[in-house]
Amino acid sequence: MNRAANNLQPLSMIAPGRRARIVTVNAGRGLQARLAEMGLVPGTVIDVIQNSGSGAFVVAVKQGRLMLGRGMAHKIMVG
Q: What is the mean pLDDT of the chain?
A: 91
State pLDDT tens for residues 43-75: 999 999 999 877 789 999 999 999 999 999 999
11-29: burial string, b at 16+ Cβ within 10 Å, e else: bbebeeeeebebbebebee
- Predicted pLDDT at 27: 94
CATH code, 3-78: 2.30.30.90
Is the model's pLDDT at 15 over the cut of 90? Answer: yes
φ/ψ (deg, to 5) at 20: -145, 155
